[in-house]
Structure 1
Amino acid sequence: MARTSPWVRLTLRTVVIVYLVLLVGWPVSLVVRATFTDGLTALRDALTDPTVVFSLKLTVSVALQATLLNTVFGVGISLLLVRTDFRGKRLLSALIDLPLSVSPVVVGLAIVLAYGPRGDWFGPWLTGAGVDVLFAPLGIVLATAFVSLPLVVREVVPVLEEIGTDEVQAARSLGANSLQTFWRITLPSIRWALVYGVVLTLARSLGEFGAVKIVSGNLEGRTQTATLLVEQRYHDFDHATAYAVAFLLAAVSVACITLVTYLRPAHGNAR
């Protein structure tokens, strides 16, 4: 196999680094610089603003709930796809990737049509039962869970395919039931892939904007998440608060990315 010229490798590396700096590094660094233009004043003012604090708490709560939902159902769907054969398996696998290809705004609109008071299916029934989906935290959780659905599944499925079913069958032959097999054999085998998927899901959930804006109504102090607050404060020329909250969201994302970077080697040795 022919070796690549050192100059070619250096050129490709330089192009990639410049691309990432211009697309990601430089814009994010400008947000950081704008946040700390007056020292810690912007952060201090933001964190003492009741509206900002509420939006941050709501964002964290929604992200944790959506991550929990996608973790539980993501593992279940992964096991279903890898260890069972049924009609429509390919269709189900394709539907799981749908949130990655559909605009979040379309997702929000679909939730409105499905669960709104004038919806065709569950909306009127939920409204009659006193369960509010639109303009309520429940709708925000549903929208966030929808857009982040594939992340756990797409991390766990390849690992399940790699480890096969030999150990599972051996455990069952020794008398272990399905729950014991899962906790003692399957879960330890997929633990790093699962953690990797959970971290990505959490990061994605914290930053969701489009679908949440449609279903939440962006009601200040009620359904306004941190991303929605950033947009509103920026358009209201309260740039200091907008930059501060954006910085906090970016800092959490960077922390998640850093965690994923350290987990990646372990992911490669999931067994």
Structure 2
Amino acid sequence: MADTSTIRRRKGPVTYLLRAFVITYLFVLVVWPLSEVVRRTFAPVGDSAAGGFGAFVERLQDPAVTYAFGLTLTVAFWAVVINTVFGVGISLLIVRYRFPGRRILSVLIDLPMSVSPVVVGLALVLAYSSGSGWFGQRLESAGLFIIGSTPGLIMATAFVSLPLVIREVVPVLEEIGTDAELAASSLGASGWQTFRRITLPSIKWAIVYGVVLSMARSLGEFGAVKIVSPGAEFRGETATLLIQNRYNNYDESTAYAAAFVLVLASVLALIVVSLIRKPEDQS
């Protein structure tokens, strides 16, 4: 209580100035640009009166747009599944076990956040292309094609979103400690029973947040998929590539509509998860 009252007494000109600065910064950097996307999505195109929600829906019904969003959802879904399964496993490995190279592994996990996605795409091409990639030649001989196909897009997307689940789960695992898990083990619970009944309920919200962040990152990935994908209509064109292609080809209305859908999906996902977690935090 004393700390709260101390914080409340600190209100003054500096506090209001900092608030105004933060609000202005967020408005200029986030709110204004996104509001322009929304405005132009529903605005009439050129001299035509075609605008509004009906025109927006009509643009999304374009077969090329439908294909792009279908491919994007497929890639994002599998990337999130892969990152969730391996993310939880890697988190348990880092927090619960001590082994040589543990710190190096922790650094490598953060590598996708510091390396440009374009570099990630290029590295995948060098490793898995059928022409020069060492793995690619052997996989192609077995009938598996990575670069220029959906598996390559999934690998690129999973790579860039890899740390998001891990960095949500690791702090929670460190906070809850191992007392409950050791007690369950001493009572005869197997490793899977301990994880399912003790560990998983404790980290479920961290996993949910990691999944949401990973999904939002996967839906909006551009740099890595641009390198590994043909990027043509009905041939590896994801939603982000569609936006670039349509904007460069002066079909700006479709580009704005696709961009609006991606923004809306990310915002709605964050809102839903926040509403779901709120009762848990208050209990």
Q: Sort the TM-score into its range (normalised by shorter chain).
A: over 0.9
Q: TM-score, normalization: structure 1?
A: 0.95
The answer on 1:187 being equivalent to 2:200 is yes
Q: TM-score, normalization: structure 2?
A: 0.91
Runs of 4 or more consecutive aligned structure 1 residues displaced over 4 Å after TM superposition:
263-269
- Highest CA radius of gyration, 1 or 2? 2
Is the CA contact 1:143–1:211 (under 8 Å) kept in the aligned structure 2?
A: yes
How far apart, in 2, do the equivalents of 1:119 and 1:93 lie?
30
Tell me which residue corresponds to 1:23: 29
Tell me which residue corresponds to 1:231: 244
- Per-residue CA deviations over 1:104-127 (Å, capped at 9, x if unaligned) read 000000110111113453111111
How far apart, in 2, do the equivalents of 1:235 and 1:11 lie?
41
Residues 121/60 of structure 1: CA separation in 2 closer, same or farther (3 Å cut): same
Give the one of 226, 230, 248 matched to 1:213: 226
Is the CA contact 1:116–1:134 (under 8 Å) kept in the aligned structure 2?
A: yes
Residues 243/42 of structure 1: CA separation in 2 closer, same or farther (3 Å cut): farther
| Equivalent pairs, count | 270
Residues 259/202 of structure 1: CA separation in 2 closer, same or farther (3 Å cut): same
Letter in 1 for 2:221: E
Tell me which residue corresponds to 1:34: 40
TM-superposed deviation, 1:86: 0.5
The answer on 1:156 being equivalent to 2:169 is yes
How far apart, in 2, do the equivalents of 1:49 and 1:218 lie?
17
Instruction: Output aligned runs, 1:1-271, within 5 Å.
Output: 4-37=10-43, 38-262=51-275, 265=278
Letter in 2 for 1:196: Y
TM-superposed deviation, 1:260: 4.1
How far apart, in 2, do the equivalents of 1:93 and 1:137 lie?
29
- Consecutive unaligned residues of structure 1, counting only runs of 5 or more, are none
Letter in 2 for 1:39: G
SS at match of 1:224: coil
How far apart, in 2, do the equivalents of 1:200 and 1:267 lie?
19
SS at match of 1:122: helix
- Per-residue CA deviations over 1:230-261 (Å, capped at 9, x if unaligned) read 00000000011011011001100111222343
Is the CA contact 1:192–1:263 (under 8 Å) kept in the aligned structure 2?
A: no
Question: C-alpha root-mean-square deviation of aligned residues, in Å?
Answer: 1.7
- Consecutive unaligned residues of structure 2, counting only runs of 5 or more, are 1-5, 44-50
- Per-residue CA deviations over 1:132-182 (Å, capped at 9, x if unaligned) read 101100000000000000000000000000111111111111111111111
Letter in 2 for 1:113: L
TM-superposed deviation, 1:217: 1.7
Letter in 2 for 1:16: V
